[in-house]
Chain A
């Protein structure tokens, strides 16, 4: 989780990732930032993010993104 927050802060520093729960709906992360985030997640955590998982519900908070990563890791 710490590593994920580090990645997020590098991509978009102006957000408090511990509390923010509308990263996509609040337009803090645009589609290009999400793409960078996905490639970082894939190389850091060794998972493949399928397009069907790219929905606001999975990216609205650091916690949700972490849950997605854990779920994808289980699927491997």
Chain B
């Protein structure tokens, strides 16, 4: 089931009604029961694994809390000289609990998502070395959202270990944090410290929150039904028949896919954040106008933000500040210079981040290639940044000018479009063939004859263009820190409702459903 569906909307409304008529104290329990019912509805018996993850982090949190309390008692009676030894002793104990819990949770993720991939690699290696053994590849369904809730589970135990948050004694609160139905399938990957209080607050559904939440949900539906579902046809045709098309059309396919992915995923996030808003729960944003990014690093701080910050906090910094990396960089700092040392430190950590980012999206060479593509671009950006600054100074190019910024935005977008081919292509070979086609057979003149065969008529193209202009205008306003929703809510009631009706009827009249259209599947729910 997709969040961007009438089915979800009906289920959501049912929960809102029950929630609204429940006493304040029991409201969070309603959300918890609804979340487990929702998960059971989409994943069946696999709800068991979600339960296991929740129990493991809840228990581990409490054990670590106990160890901290014991340590603090011991420290009260310890002299200043011995404090460090005592602290380290208890830290070691906590570390055992942490490592065990991480392994326990990662094991499920590995089993469901990566085991078959590594079996296939092993079988290939056996084949090369003529070893007469093959792992059997078994097909089984994974709990939906396992990649999202596992990262949340890990962040909880790591934050408790680091004493960033206190382990919660309230089992229902921890369980709800991991299973909250609007975020369970596609994120954002939230942190306990960020959302736990509002998630368990049991706030009333106010008229204001209801309206604001539904505005946001409608906006998500607008993006999906008017744009993403229409572009799906184009994407399917081009990614299937690219061999018989010009490079220009393949490039068009890459652009169409990237826009579709953005509209589908950010539209889903609108529904997720809007749903939570109805319950007065504040879920952090997962997108911040990514197509205004000036370089790839900037792009990833605007696209799927919660995954980026997770990897930054739990992989990038810990790897770059780990003992072996620090030893190496101290050596480099002494013998070469600080810049090289920082670059190497960053490169090692970025390599780990992008390997995991690629694998997180899927077990396949194309996803690894997707990760390494961005790794190389970011690394090159860092290496050549000082040279670019110098060249610009010499050529008297103002790096703050609108033209230069525009150039950076276009350059970044083109690189992103190219990278998304790895993401969408059925395998790495296909992705490379498509990229080759763009560069070697870019025949712009044949695009005119190919467009009519892309599965959309003139009306569809007009709807896409108009809807994209609407999204663009909203994005520009947001980029300039304009709070559009607040502004709309302050308008005269007639104008305000005219906007809402325009949105509702826009979706109803121009939405791409019915014969001839195939809706996009929830792309990120598969990760």
Contacts and interface: CB of A to CB of B under 8 A. Distances in A.
Interface in B304-342: 312-313, 316-318, 320-321, 329-330, 333, 338-339, 341-342
Nearest to B83: A75
A36 B321 contact: no
A38 B316 CA distance: 14
Interface residues of A, number: 15
Given A31-B312, A39-B329, A39-B338, A54 B346 contact: no
A30 to B, nearest CB: 6
Nearest to B353: A31
Contacts of B329: 39
A20 interface: no
B162 interface: yes
Contacts of B318: 51
A54 B317 contact: yes
Contact of B345 (A30, A39, A43, A51): A39
A40 B338 contact: yes
B201 interface: no
A35 interface: yes
A54 B316 CA distance: 11
Contacts of B341: 39
B297 interface: yes
Contacts of A15: none
B301 interface: yes
Residue with the greatest number of chain A CB neighbours at <10 A, chosen from B312, B317, B329, B333? B317
B92 to A, nearest CB: 16
A61 B346 CA distance: 22
Contacts of B162: 51-52
Given A49-B321, A52-B164, A35 B346 contact: yes
A49 B317 CA distance: 11
A51 B297 contact: no
Nearest to B159: A52
A36 B297 CA distance: 17
A40 B317 CA distance: 15
A49 to B, nearest CB: 7
A3 interface: no
Interface of B: 162-164, 297, 301, 312-313, 316-318, 320-321, 329-330, 333, 338-339, 341-342, 345-346, 349, 382
Interface of A: 27, 30-32, 35-36, 38-40, 43, 49-52, 54
Given A36-B339, A39-B342, 16 more contacts: A30-B297, A31-B317, A31-B346, A32-B342, A32-B346, A35-B320, A35-B345, A35-B346, A36-B338, A39-B329, A39-B338, A49-B321, A51-B317, A52-B162, A54-B317, A54-B321
8 contacts: A27-B301, A31-B346, A35-B346, A39-B330, A39-B333, A39-B338, A51-B162, A52-B164
